[in-house]
């Protein structure tokens, strides 16, 4: 009974992380997280905990790293943004969920694939309603901004201005897109899988961000070509695949990315500011300036704790050595699956989705956040299932 309750709570947590990433609508992220651990502890008073040493040490190191970063900031008297540092730790703590997922044999990927449909269910009706009545955009925009869940932008397409809606957790759609593309190519329910693949790809394109679009196209191309390699009569499929890719890329190229170009300019200025920072403070490359520290970025025109250049942020906070350890923890699921020759159709598409997400996170603050941690934990849950299968 307790196991079913825990699984239900974890599913609810996934739903909340997907539709309310800033926790400003339902305020349920922390309560659900605590409930999951509370019920798990009660369950473990009757049954022994099944755990693996590497998962335990990964959790400890993952949590230890931000405390090291805060220590660096305190030593150098750079702890300018205590709230940001605490928020980083709160996100990182969710890594301990992998212990529960391993213990109870829970594959979080299926929950993510299933409940990700909530994002297009939210976005597409809003988009259609805006096409019917454009005056609604003001009211909707005020709400989504106040809840920090989405933002609107405008793109020019064949001379027509199109409204795009970026939902904060939309980058996670790369996972169900890869899953349903795999199901379409290799599974039995091809029609429904094809429809779902189209829905997720359309939602990624509807987000209006270049990274989301490129990630979606990359997944489609990867899945199709992986499938074609295994087929004997490849010419018709290759021809249709190339036509499909051409149509998608043409669609993306016809969009005007004026706001994205502004964003690219800001990112470029962030990069220039980082170059200047590391030139003036080369010791930051080794030890970092500390988690919660700020630096002046010409991209924003003021002092910031975090930019959109995620991996450079990590180096600034922790230094290169600890950043490499941190990235190694993030890539551990891929390393494990590859080194143990567990790359099958499902896992290969999960891996390309994960790399696509890491690519998107490279230019967006989406790595150590509730959204990023959901992606990381999902990958670890797949490893946990593989480990349990090997044990049995």
Q: 217 and 324: one domain?
A: no
Model confidence at 100: pLDDT above 90: yes
Over residues 361-384, the mean pLDDT reads 93
What is the model's pLDDT at position 4? 94
Residues 215/360, Cβ–Cβ less than 8 Å: yes
Long-range own/partner contacts, residues 384-388 (CB < 8 A, 24 or more apart): 384/52, 384/55, 384/98, 384/101, 384/102, 384/105, 384/106, 384/107, 385/105, 385/107, 386/336, 386/337, 386/340, 386/342, 387/52, 387/102, 388/102, 388/105
Model confidence at 252: pLDDT above 90: no
Which is more confidently placed, 37 or 253?
A: 37
Q: 10 and 108: one domain?
A: yes
Q: 25 and 138: one domain?
A: no
Q: 182 and 251: one domain?
A: yes
Is position 272 within any domain? Answer: no
What confidence tier does 152 reach under pLDDT thresholds 50, 70, 90?
Answer: confident
Q: 49 and 140: one domain?
A: no
Q: 97 and 149: one domain?
A: no
Q: 136 and 156: one domain?
A: yes
Which has the minimum average pLDDT: 88-92, 109-113, 235-239, 268-272? 235-239
Q: 243 and 164: one domain?
A: yes
Q: 216 and 233: one domain?
A: yes
Which has the minimum average pLDDT: 158-172, 173-187, 236-250, 368-382? 236-250
Sign of the CA dihedral running 53, 56, 59, 64: negative
| 13-29 confidence digits (pLDDT tens) | 999 999 999 999 999 99
> For residue 205, what are the CA distances in angstroms to 22, 141, 216, 321, 353?
23, 19, 8, 37, 16
Distance CA 109, CA 375 (A): 9
| 313-349 confidence digits (pLDDT tens) | 999 999 999 999 999 999 999 999 888 777 776 788 8
Over residues 89-108, the mean pLDDT reads 94
Q: 173 and 244: one domain?
A: yes
Is position 278 within any domain? Answer: no
Is position 295 within any domain? Answer: no
What confidence tier does 94 reach under pLDDT thresholds 50, 70, 90?
Answer: very high
Cβ neighbours for 365, distance < 8 A, ≥ 6 positions apart: 306, 307, 308, 310, 313
Is position 341 within any domain? Answer: yes
What is the model's pLDDT at position 120? 96
Q: 8 and 50: one domain?
A: yes
Q: Find the domain containing 203 and state its range.
A: 118-259
Is position 280 within any domain? Answer: no
Domain count, the chain: 2
Is position 286 within any domain? Answer: no
Tokens representing 284 are 């930051």
- Of the chain, the percentage scoring pLDDT greater than 70 comes to 90
Q: 219 and 133: one domain?
A: yes
What is the model's pLDDT at position 264? 73
Tokens representing 262 are 């502004």
What is the model's pLDDT at position 231? 72
Is position 64 within any domain? Answer: yes
Is position 169 within any domain? Answer: yes
Distance CA 384, CA 98 (A): 8
- Of the chain, the percentage scoring pLDDT greater than 90 comes to 63
Over residues 31-43, the mean pLDDT reads 96
Average confidence score pLDDT of the chain: 89
């Amino acid at each position: 009974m307790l196991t079913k309750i825990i699984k239900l709570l974890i599913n609810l947590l996934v739903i909340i992380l997907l539709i309310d990433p800033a926790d400003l609508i339902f305020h349920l992220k922390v309560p659900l997280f605590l409930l999951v651990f509370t019920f798990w502890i009660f369950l473990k008073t009757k049954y022994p905990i099944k755990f693996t040493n590497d998962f335990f040490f990964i959790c400890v190191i993952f949590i230890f790293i931000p405390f090291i970063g805060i220590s660096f900031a305190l030593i150098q008297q750079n702890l300018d943004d205590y709230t940001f540092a605490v928020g980083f730790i709160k996100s990182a703590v969710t890594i301990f969920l992998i212990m529960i997922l391993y213990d109870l044999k829970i594959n979080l990927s299926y929950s993510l694939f299933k409940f990700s449909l909530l994002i297009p269910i939210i976005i597409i009706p809003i988009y259609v309603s805006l096409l019917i009545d454009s005056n609604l955009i003001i009211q909707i925009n005020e709400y989504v901004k106040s809840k920090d869940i989405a933002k609107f932008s405008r793109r020019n397409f064949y001379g027509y201005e199109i409204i795009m809606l970026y939902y904060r957790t939309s980058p996670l759609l790369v996972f169900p897109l890869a899953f349903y593309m795999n199901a379409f190519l290799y599974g039995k329910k091809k029609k429904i899988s094809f429809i779902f693949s189209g829905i997720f790809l359309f939602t990624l394109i509807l987000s209006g961000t270049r990274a989301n679009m490129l990630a979606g196209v990359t997944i489609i191309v990867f899945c199709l070509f992986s499938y074609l390699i295994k087929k004997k009569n490849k010419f018709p499929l290759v021809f249709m695949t190339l036509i499909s890719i051409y149509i998608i890329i043409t669609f993306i190229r016809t969009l005007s990315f004026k706001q994205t170009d502004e964003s690219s300019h800001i990112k470029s200025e962030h990069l220039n500011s980082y170059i200047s920072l590391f030139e003036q403070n080369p010791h930051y490359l080794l030890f970092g300036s500390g988690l919660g520290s700020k630096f002046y970025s010409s991209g924003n025109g003021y002092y910031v704790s975090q930019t959109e250049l995620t991996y450079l942020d990590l180096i600034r906070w922790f230094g290169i050595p600890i950043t490499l350890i941190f990235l190694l923890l993030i890539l551990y699921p891929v390393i494990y699956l590859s080194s143990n020759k567990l790359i099958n159709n499902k896992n290969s598409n999960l891996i390309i989705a994960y790399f696509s997400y890491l690519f998107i996170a490279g230019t967006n603050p989406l790595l150590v956040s509730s959204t990023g941690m959901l992606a990381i934990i999902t990958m670890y849950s797949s490893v946990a299932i593989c480990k349990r299968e090997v044990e049995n």
